[in-house]
A and B are shown apart, each in its own frame.
Chain A
């Protein structure tokens, strides 16, 4: 019975293949979106948490503004006095404090001008954070030895891609209005923004940017074995005594990844709502197609009923058809979603962010749920028109042309 009905259904779907494919397409788009969001967001989360781990597990970050909205306060321009930051070194458990600032500056190399993010921090702090906490070494050259030396370290991309001629260690480059010697070039970090940046000592940064002993952020390196949460609370208390920046945040790696995770889940939720809406649109599409195709086939329904089909027979034929359309849409959506995520991952990999896509982040249980949902979507979308078709008297249906 089921087999015969399935065969009848497949023949009927194939008979109006263009119509069927267009309906399937309506479902495919929604499902594709869901799959892309799921597979990339978990990859994104992993990429970010990997990045955080590469920053080191013994670092505490200080920046102005509420921790839930760091960007706004950085853009807002509030900065710490460096001396307030250095005062934190008195807290036991703090190995050292590295104040840091960043600015978009004009640079010039062999007559070619570019705008570059320039990070300023003491070499004494920057070098161990690169080398020990992140495992980034110099590809060529050497770290500057003096904080006041007229020297600069640049990222891999800014050395090899930024200018027409690649920059080599020992070359001269103008930053702002200051001529500086390229002391070293970093090996690739893997984050496009960091690889595109210039790194200078905080003293030179103040000279070039014309600011006086202020910094937008600071990284606190803790002594081994220190409780970071406790230390963060002490820093919060001590730094609370200064008056320059009223709102500031002290973040441990654990808290950071938690924060980023919650932001990503929020974005994920938003995108899934969009995907669900598009799924509903797809369902309405199926409903519309089923309606017209029921109308188109009213006469055939009459024929089938005239030769002995019951209302249940007609109903199951139509429901199987819409179910199959939904299921096919789901299957193709999953495959299409995987393919597109894979391509996005490939593209992101080329741009420097590795591992955005991976099969590990795809959940086969989730796929089963998607297929079930699309199948049911098809069934429900087909229910209304199919029931209407099924309850017609044969003669009534046969009169249709």
Chain B
């Protein structure tokens, strides 16, 4: 965290100052430096896209959990850029800090130090209520454990974000969405009466209730069999492809990582350089 010179990869946002074997590209008369082939390749394809402000930017984000006598450093100065419309996966071993990273991106937690920018605006020390409004309007969360409220029906769960955002629900509109995904006759059921896939589909409808720009998934298929998991994944990816929603998914699954525009690898609370190459290292093939 000492004050040193910094050089950021314009695509992934990593601090690459002082590293060897960096890639250099000259665009519009200006030189740009990249952490590896992946970022260089992406930049070359659409250079102008990466010259502006990203949708979400993490700047030297630290997260330290204070457990009384021991302090655990979960994130150690992460610099990261999430670009609008991208499908980004975050991979890494258990305990690497990838879920904490996702929480930082989705404003579910505040960094111990460092900053989180949303559309160029620092939201890491914004007021509680502002963060709540942003969460409600811009983010939709899908969790591994589905995280539905046990005392509410599927329909009530899915419309809950509307109550918090607008104070009221539009049950009819939501009912139609349930119909579209083939869950119409399950809307009155409580989460415990639904299968894992049904719960996760309900959770996706809930995440979409306020029509957010960003969908965040914390191992959304981790508790499902591969067939159901694929269905959920297809739903999420189609949101990215067809509705141009920014999708960030934390996963163990190499197949998911394969489909992403950007792969971010986390190890011991730090983003790895050449994160595109490392994808097979921390996926389920050898975990």
Contact = CB atoms under 8 A, between A and B. Distances in A.
A320 B150 CA distance: 19
B114 to A, nearest CB: 15
Taking residues whose C-beta sits less than 8 angstroms from the other chain, chain B's interface range is 35 or more
Contact of B164 (A14, A304, A393): A304
B181 interface: no
B52 interface: no
B251 to A, nearest CB: 18
Interface string B139-158: 01101000111111000100
Contacts of A196: none
Contact of A310 (B129, B151, B168): B129
Taking residues whose C-beta sits less than 8 angstroms from the other chain, chain A's interface range is 20 to 34
Given A14-B151, A303-B149, A307-B206, A398 B108 contact: yes
B153 to A, nearest CB: 9
Given A1-B168, A4-B169, A310-B129, A393 B108 contact: yes
B135 interface: yes
Q: Is the interface of A mostly helix, strand, loop or mixed?
A: helix
Interface string A286-300: 000000000000011
A391 B151 contact: no
A310 B147 contact: no
B199 interface: no
B133 interface: yes
Contacts of A307: 135-136, 140-141, 160-161, 164, 206-207, 209
A15 B109 contact: no
B101 to A, nearest CB: 11
Nearest to A313: B164
A308 B168 contact: no
Contacts of B132: 305, 308-311, 313
Nearest to A10: B151
A11 B129 CA distance: 25
The residue among B152, B156, B164, B209 with the most chain A CB atoms within 10 A of its own CB is B164
B164 A308 contact: yes
A8 interface: yes
A4 B108 contact: no
The residue among A11, A15, A312, A398 with the most chain B CB atoms within 10 A of its own CB is A398
Interface in A1-26: 1, 4-5, 8, 11-12, 14-15
B216 to A, nearest CB: 9
A306 interface: yes
A391 B110 CA distance: 13
B141 A12 contact: no
Contacts of B209: 307
A303 B206 CA distance: 11
A11 B153 CA distance: 10
A238 B286 CA distance: 114
A208 interface: no
A135 B141 CA distance: 84
A226 interface: no
A396 B109 contact: yes
Contact of A311 (B128, B148, B156): B128
B103 interface: yes
Contacts of A394: 103, 108-109, 135
A139 interface: no
B163 interface: yes
Contacts of A309: 132, 136, 164
A308 B210 contact: yes
Contacts of B135: 305-308, 394
Sort A-B residue pairs by CB-CB distance and give the 7 closest, nearest first. Answer: A308-B136, A1-B167, A15-B151, A395-B109, A310-B132, A395-B108, A395-B103
Interface of A: 1, 4-5, 8, 11-12, 14-15, 299-300, 302-313, 391, 393-396, 398
23 contacts: A1-B163, A1-B168, A8-B152, A11-B156, A12-B151, A304-B164, A305-B108, A305-B132, A306-B135, A306-B141, A307-B140, A307-B160, A308-B136, A308-B137, A309-B164, A310-B129, A311-B128, A393-B108, A393-B110, A394-B108, A394-B135, A396-B109, A398-B143
